């Protein structure tokens, strides 16, 4: 597996026309999206692109129509921006946009359905169960080996997630996650190392290993903590990293994603990889992982943003 990335953008910013960066929104990931959008907008303007920003609110569609952009850079995270809704609007308006289409975005946003797709093509993801108010908490936990990882099905940035090892903890974690989403799942907890692989224009970039002193790589570890370690090179052998990159590309394609994104993994103590989720609009902040992986491939942040936007020219 090669991690060599050949830049696609030829430097002709005039061909990009007027670009609108969408960020903010109303999801629980709004603050992260505001930071991503600001960084993307600054990079585009620094690169000579006629770029403008829009904080997406209830009147977003009218404002997009009035602005009449030639293309859109989507920097929205979470429901309303990463789940296919905005992509469908832009398809209807015939405006090219960055990243995956509405169908792939909607599928990837649903962690439960994504796991089912991966399982259908033979890709490995942790065993899981759907949760409800009347779940038999102990029976569910026992079926998953005694430890679980509870997640809202449609949230990102580790929002609403918990690690559990008792029936009481599982019930409390369900109630916490249900505050964010009507659909909640619990996975068997994989104890081991965490990795992420960015995919850019069909190329799997160098993997990043994640190390945190938190119980898991939670919201604080991602966006606030200064103790989280990002390992790139990731510490895997060349063969194991190639295996990880190959799985990432297969998982990305199975969901129908395109353009750019990020696939997250756990590796157990025996060295086996387990797919966790795919992100179709990953963060683009100073703590974000796709820019780190791109930098390892010789692509600086401003160049990365132009590479992503240039996908809309195809």
Which one of the listed residues 24, 25, 28, 29 is annotated catalytic?
29
Which one of the listed residues 97, 128, 217, 223 is annotated catalytic?
223
Q: Is 105 helix (H, G, I), strand (E, B) or coil?
A: helix
Q: What is the pLDDT of residue 121?
A: 98
Catalytic status, residue 136: no
Which one of the listed residues 36, 105, 279, 288 is annotated catalytic?
279
Q: What is the pLDDT of residue 221?
A: 45
Catalytic status, residue 223: yes
Asked if 26 and 77 count as a contact pair (C-beta separation under 8 A), the reply is: no
Asked if 291 and 86 count as a contact pair (C-beta separation under 8 A), the reply is: no
When pLDDT is cut at 50, 70 and 90, the band that residue 214 belongs to is low
191 compared with 212, residue with greater pLDDT: 191
pLDDT mean over 250-263: 97
Catalytic status, residue 262: yes
Which one of the listed residues 81, 259, 261, 283 is annotated catalytic?
283
Q: What is the pLDDT of residue 51?
A: 98
- Output the average pLDDT for the chain: 92
Q: Is 74 helix (H, G, I), strand (E, B) or coil?
A: strand
Asked if 197 and 263 count as a contact pair (C-beta separation under 8 A), the reply is: yes
Query: Could you tell me the two tokens for 306?
Result: 């132009």
215 compared with 48, residue with greater pLDDT: 48
Residue 225 has pLDDT above 90, yes or no: no
pTM of this structure: 0.90
Kindly report, residue by residue over 72-124, the tens digit of the pLDDT: 999 999 888 999 999 999 999 999 999 999 999 999 999 999 999 999 999 99
Which one of the listed residues 264, 274, 288, 307 is annotated catalytic?
264
Asked if 173 and 160 count as a contact pair (C-beta separation under 8 A), the reply is: no
Distance in angstroms (rounded) separating the CA atoms of residues 297 and 55: 31
pLDDT mean over 54-73: 97
Give kind and range of the element (H or E) at residue 221: helix 219-223
Catalytic status, residue 283: yes
Q: What is the pLDDT of residue 286?
A: 66
Give kind and range of the element (H or E) at residue 143: helix 137-143
What whole-number percentage of the chain has pLDDT above 90? Answer: 82
Catalytic status, residue 35: no
Which one of the listed residues 156, 277, 288, 307 is annotated catalytic?
277
Catalytic status, residue 277: yes
Catalytic status, residue 17: no
Distance in angstroms (rounded) separating the CA atoms of residues 276 and 20: 31
Catalytic status, residue 274: no
Q: What is the pLDDT of residue 2?
A: 45
Sign of the alpha-carbon dihedral angle for 73, 155, 100, 198: positive
pLDDT mean over 157-169: 85
Q: What is the pLDDT of residue 287?
A: 74
């Amino acid at each position: 597996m090669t991690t060599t990335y050949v830049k696609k953008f030829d430097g002709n910013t005039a061909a990009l026309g007027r670009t609108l960066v969408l960020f903010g929104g109303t999801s629980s990931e709004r603050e992260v999206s505001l930071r991503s959008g600001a960084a993307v907008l600054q990079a585009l303007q620094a690169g000579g692109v006629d770029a403008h920003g829009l904080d997406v609110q209830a009147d977003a569609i009218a404002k997009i129509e009035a602005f009449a952009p030639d293309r859109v850079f989507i920097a929205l995270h979470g429901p309303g921006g990463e789940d296919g809704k905005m992509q469908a609007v832009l398809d209807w308006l015939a405006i090219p946009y960055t990243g995956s289409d509405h169908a792939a975005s909607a599928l990837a946003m649903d962690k439960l359905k994504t796991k089912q797709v991966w399982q259908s093509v033979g890709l490995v993801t942790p065993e899981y169960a759907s949760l409800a108010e009347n779940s038999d908490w102990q029976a569910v936990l026992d079926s998953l080996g005694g430890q679980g990882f509870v997640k809202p099905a449609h949230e990102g940035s580790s929002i609403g997630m918990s690690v559990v090892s008792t029936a009481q903890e599982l019930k409390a974690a369900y109630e916490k996650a249900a505050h964010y989403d009507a659909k909640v799942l619990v996975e068997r907890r994989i104890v081991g190392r965490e990795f992420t692989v960015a995919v850019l224009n069909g190329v799997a970039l160098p993997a990043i290993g994640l190390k945190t002193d938190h119980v898991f790589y939670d919201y604080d570890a991602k966006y606030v903590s200064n103790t989280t370690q990002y390992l790139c090179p990731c510490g895997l052998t060349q063969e194991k990293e190639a295996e990880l990159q190959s799985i990432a590309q297969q998982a990305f394609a199975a969901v129908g994603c395109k353009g750019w994104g990020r696939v997250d993994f756990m590796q157990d103590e025996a060295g086996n990889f387990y797919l966790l989720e795919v992100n179709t609009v990953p963060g683009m902040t100073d703590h974000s992982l796709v820019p780190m992986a791109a930098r390892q491939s010789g692509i600086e942040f401003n160049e990365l943003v132009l590479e992503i936007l240039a996908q809309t020219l195809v």
